[in-house]
Amino acid sequence: MKNKYQNINNEILEMCTIKDVLRLMVTKLNDSDVCYGQGTDNSFDEAVYLLFSTIKLSTDVPEIFLSSRLTRSEKKKIAEVLISRIFDRIPSAYLTNVIWFCEHELYVDERVFIPRSPISELIDNNFESIINVEPKKILDLCTGSGCIAISCAHIFKNSEIEASDISREALEVARKNIELHSLSERIF
């Protein structure tokens, strides 16, 4: 196993540009048997997400950036992330600490499940098929990251929302996300 780690590290260190590393990452992900479904559904999107998150670039940078040379420290960090994804099976969201839910960026780590709720579709449609008046109070049980509470707060501007969870660690993550979205006055 150590040899496989070293091979990825060495191969990435040999690469020069973002484009080179991206191509190698796609190949390595294709050669692995990692599962997708936590934000991406294929090796290319997964590689783009991991690479650009690791080097702190937006995925919508101009194409000219793809021929930019990476520093040795950037390549080492990219290799660490790819090794963790392929061999340790750590989901990308936990490696980057970022997930998107209802078009809102949220912090996640191992203290919470990665949000993948069918409720997101209901939220995106303002619960059209269920309610026709803005609720005064909303309860988000088993809130985890706070994704449902936060998304509801963005839609229902006058609602008071309570986010509840049995896990103190999950509530710490939810509080962090509530603060990131400046919703501490509306979500309890």
Shared domain check, 118 and 33: no
Q: What is the CATH number of the domain that holds 152?
A: 3.40.50.150
Query: What are 33's two structure tokens?
Result: 């048997």
- On whether residue 38 sits in a domain, the answer given is yes
Can you give the residue range of the structural domain that contains 80?
Answer: 2-95
Query: Per-residue pLDDT for the chain (188 aa), expressed as one digit of tens each?
Result: 556 677 898 999 998 999 999 999 999 999 998 888 777 889 999 999 999 999 998 888 888 889 999 999 999 999 999 999 999 999 999 999 999 899 999 999 999 999 887 888 888 888 888 888 889 999 999 999 999 999 999 999 999 999 999 999 999 999 999 999 999 999 99
Which residue type occupies 167?
S
**Residue 170 and residue 150 share a domain:** yes
End-of-domain residue from the set 61, 95, 129: 95
- Asked whether residue 125 is domain-assigned, the answer is yes
- Which residues are paired to 141 by β-bridges? 164
pTM for the model stands at 0.86
CA atoms within 13 A on the CB side of 87: 15
